[in-house]
Amino acid sequence: MNSTIQETIQQFLQFMSERNLTALTNLFSDTVDWYIPGDEQKAPWLGVRNNKQEISDFLNCYGKIRNLFLQKLIIFSTMMKML
């Protein structure tokens, strides 16, 4: 694998773990061809993305959903320990 590709992947993972959405978004080209299939009315993270702003919006949405999921997972885990 090309060292530039490896560096970009490392940066991507680092920025994701740090929740550095600005740096993460800047890894993307100004124009993108991104499509996640599914019903966008039921799940706002689905659909087409064409530019950095739309990628940024996706990452913000994903972060909120991820945090909500983790909160519910912690609550569920705590409840299971009580049983």
Give the residue extent of every domain in the chain.
Answer: 3-82
Average pLDDT, the chain: 85
Helix, strand or coil, per DSSP, at residue 76: helix
Identify the bridge partners of residue 34 per DSSP, sorted by sequence position: 49
What's the CA gap between 43 and 82, in Å, rounded? Answer: 32
Please give the biggest Cα pair distance in the chain. 51
Average pLDDT for 40-69: 84
Q: What is the mean pLDDT of residues 42-51?
A: 89
The pTM assigned to this predicted structure is 0.67
pLDDT of 22 reads 92
**pLDDT score, position 72:** 67
Residue 65 has pLDDT above 70, yes or no: yes
> Could you read off the pLDDT of 28-45 as tens digits, one per residue?
999 999 998 999 898 887
Higher-scoring residue by pLDDT: 55, 62: 55
Under CATH, what is the fold of the domain 3-82?
Answer: Nuclear Transport Factor 2; Chain: A, (3.10.450)
